[in-house]
Amino acid sequence: MSETGKARRLARMFNARSGRMLCLAFDHGMQVGTVPGTEDPARVLDAAAEAGVDAVILNPGMMVRHGHRLAGGPAVILRIDQTTMWRHGTPSGYPDTHNRLVSSVEEAVSMGAEAVITYLFTCNNRPEEETRTFEICGAVAAACRRWGMVHVIEAMAAKGGFARHDDPDVISLNCRMAGEIGADIIKTDWCADKTRFSAIATQSLAPIAIAGGPARAGIEAVADYARAVIASGAKGLMFGRNVFEQDDMKATLRLLREIVHG
């Protein structure tokens, strides 16, 4: 097990002064196809590198084609699994969530990534689908320990399942289980109860970064959300739509960087 490798990679992902991370989530294409703002990947990734974000989440194909744009810049978190969950309720969706691996920790190492990310979906209507994500995360966590790779677990209540994604009890459950599996960083939902979330963050076995969720109306709404998240104890932001769907993406990234590290 390479603790040195993990430590060096983690150090690349968190700002040394603030101890926090600003990450651009750009892995939507493998889950839902092209969404507004992602039509020109080069524009988005160049803006992220220019703004000085700490990390970017990419799918393997995007890394192959555009990873060179991030050379010497943000750390890369490689998405190595795929889910149907985000298509639930759409014409191309399924009644339940289905997940599978599409890449490996070894390939992420060969690509020069600092981390990999996998889903951990709970409270699905079909318990076997929750079981599948646990099996994937457990195997990936073991491989990450072997290779000295950082493992980000995206732990959330399944869309269309029997629990609310913003229920603090569910968030607490998911974060603890992700940490017990071996997550080095946990990506999860935020709840509006700041006191409860602060307790969750304090008790977590790994730093918690918050997902951006649905796109907000404008840059000030995004900023207000980011300030509340950081003030409640989150160690990072992993925002996607709330960056690349904004009219001024560069200004949004600069403002978020100031909120996270200022």
CATH of the domain at 188: 3.20.20.70
C-alpha angle 63/65/68, rounded to 5°? 70
- Residue 165 sits in which domain range? 3-261
Q: Could you read off the pLDDT of 232-261 as tens digits, one per residue?
A: 999 999 999 999 999 899 999 999 999 999
Structural domain count, the chain? 1
Checking phi first, is residue 86 left (phi over 0); if not, alpha (psi -120 to 50) or beta? Answer: alpha
- A 10 A CB-CB count for 54 gives 23
- What is the per-residue pLDDT for 206? 98
pLDDT in tens, 88-124: 989 999 988 899 999 999 999 999 999 999 999 999 9
15: Cβ contacts below 8 Å, ≥ 6 apart: 21, 54, 260, 261
37: DSSP letter: T
Record the tokens describing residue 159, joined without a space: 């869309």
User: Under 8 Å CB-to-CB from 149, ≥6 apart: which residues?
Assistant: 5, 6, 9, 105, 108, 109, 113, 114, 115, 116, 143
Angle between helices 249-261 and 219-231 (to 10 degrees): 20
Q: What is the CB neighbour count within 10 angstroms for residue 202?
A: 9
**pTM of the predicted structure, to 2 decimals:** 0.96
Kindly report, residue by residue over 37-90, the tens digit of the pLDDT.
999 999 999 999 999 999 999 999 999 999 999 999 999 999 999 999 989 989
